[in-house]
Amino acid sequence: MSLEFTPSDRLILEKLRLERLCTFFPETLPLCAIQIDRHNTLTLYCPEPWMVDQLLNEIEALQWYAWITVGVYRIAVYYADEEIYTTATYGLFNQSHQIIG
């Protein structure tokens, strides 16, 4: 039995991690289209402006949970095919401020 993840295994894990992230923001994230790109950015496509407002009100929690559950470095929030907000998560901040000794 191989201990390496196959591409199919990775997709299943990513789907499960995104589902877990949605549980922390049940009013908004399940209604948004969610994508993780090759630059490790979590992109949220919100169909309603109130969802964008709600996510921006909870941006600090979203940064934390996105980093902890999904492991992304950036978050981008879109409405009507326009980027409304982008920010780094705690993972990017911690990575860029590591002390090398």
pLDDT at 81: 92
Q: Mention every residue, 6+ apart, whose C-beta is less than 8 A from residue 10.
A: none
Is there a contact between 32 and 42 (Cβ–Cβ < 8 Å)? no
The domain ranges of the chain are 31-101
pTM to 2 decimal places: 0.84
Predicted confidence (pLDDT) per residue in 64-93, tens digit? 999 999 999 999 999 999 999 999 998 765
